[in-house]
Amino acid sequence: MSNNKKIFILIILTILACSLSLFLGINKDNIGFFLPRRATKILAIALCSYCIGYSAVTFQTITNNKILTPSVIGLDSLYMFVQTIIVYFFGSKTLAMLSGYTNYFLSIGVMIIFSLVLFFILFLKENKNLYFLILAGIIVGNLFGGLSTFMQVILDPNEFLVLQGKMFASFSNVNEELLFVSLLIIIAMFFITIRDYNKLDVLSLGKDHSINLGINYNKFVLKNLIVITVLIAVSTALVGPITFLGILVASISRELMKTYKHTYVILCAVLIGFFSLVLGQFLVERVFSFNTTVSTIINFIGGIYFIFLILKEAKKQ
């Protein structure tokens, strides 16, 4: 089956899943109440799918590793560290008051500044390569995770319950104003990277080959790392962290497409992410009656798949 047919099938499946999520149980009496809220949820899922799908595939190409995802830089841990600090020092009421623009831009700003410092100090420094940056990201991410856990353990249980809501991604109560701001940022990132797909095809050959073929490696990689950081920061600040979705969509997309062309691979990853999140949210609402979260389902499946990939790579050694 050609790649175009596979993309077409994925589009049809995604449209069907969205239609089911939007219109199931809708009638003329409740359409005015339910449809706008469901449409907001679908738009949030679409934005997060693009952020995570593009970032995961691009990051794997940059690192020339089919297992790594942007989460290794430690952005998810940093996000939780920021939320934990707010609750620990100022209380859960402050976190509730900051749930709008303030918390959104604070979270995005901290994640972007942290990443830029990491990139400029470690990646652009002489005799330091990309893997040194990744190693530093893993270490710092674990540090933030450990500090967050320490503070959470000594929090008042009632305070922790408020913070717990930030630990898992949720599409049920997305702020429409933040959704609009996120849409503008993502559109800007899309137009910044739209011409980079062919260069990513070249970059997949490896650092040395891409330099020989005329790619300004350091500049191009730094640009894409910044774009990845912005997209992941926007997605995380909007709905919360979804750790294993990136590895899931990127790996399945590469298996399905069987091509080096990133136009197909990224589009496939975005569609798979879109379909997975819509289906996961449908299960949360209709099957589990909101007793779990979509990120729990995705992380459970993605974690199993991640272990499978590690074992698969180990057999190749």
pTM equals: 0.87
| Per-residue model confidence (pLDDT) at position 145 | 85
Q: Are 273 and 249 in contact (CB under 8 A)?
A: yes
Per-residue pLDDT band at 215 (split at 50, 70, 90): confident
Rounded distance between C-alpha atoms, residue 108 and residue 101, angstroms? 10
Question: Would you say residue 63 lies in a domain?
Answer: yes
> HSE (CB half, 13 Å, CA atoms) of 269?
29
Of all helices (H) and strands (E), which one includes residue 250?
helix 245-257
User: 65-98, pLDDT tens digit by residue?
Assistant: 777 778 777 778 888 888 888 888 877 677 666 6
Rounded distance between C-alpha atoms, residue 300 and residue 306, angstroms? 10
Per-residue pLDDT band at 208 (split at 50, 70, 90): confident
Q: Are 272 and 253 in contact (CB under 8 A)?
A: yes
How large is the C-alpha radius of gyration of the chain? 20
Nearest to 227 by CA among 255, 267, 200: 200
Domain range holding 120? 3-17+42-312
Phi/psi region, residue 168 (left: phi>0; alpha: psi -120 to 50; beta: rest), is: beta
SS3 98: coil
pLDDT surpasses 80 at 315: no
Rounded distance between C-alpha atoms, residue 48 and residue 196, angstroms? 20
Give the CATH number, domain containing residue 273. 1.10.3470.10
Question: Would you say residue 25 lies in a domain?
Answer: no
| Per-residue model confidence (pLDDT) at position 99 | 63
Question: Would you say residue 31 lies in a domain?
Answer: no
Rounded distance between C-alpha atoms, residue 71 and residue 11, angstroms? 27
Question: Would you say residue 35 lies in a domain?
Answer: no
Rounded distance between C-alpha atoms, residue 68 and residue 57, angstroms? 10
Question: Would you say residue 196 lies in a domain?
Answer: yes
pLDDT surpasses 70 at 124: no
pLDDT surpasses 90 at 270: yes
Question: How many domains would you assign to the chain?
Answer: 1
Question: Would you say residue 37 lies in a domain?
Answer: no
Lowest mean pLDDT among 64-68, 188-192, 223-227: 64-68
Distant-in-sequence, close-in-space partners of 218: CB < 8 Å, separation ≥ 6 = 123, 124
Question: Would you say residue 27 lies in a domain?
Answer: no
Question: Would you say residue 28 lies in a domain?
Answer: no
Q: What percent of the chain has pLDDT over 70?
A: 93
CA torsion sign, 8 to 13 to 18 to 23?
positive
Lowest mean pLDDT among 59-68, 160-169, 253-262: 160-169
Q: Are 267 and 194 in contact (CB under 8 A)?
A: no
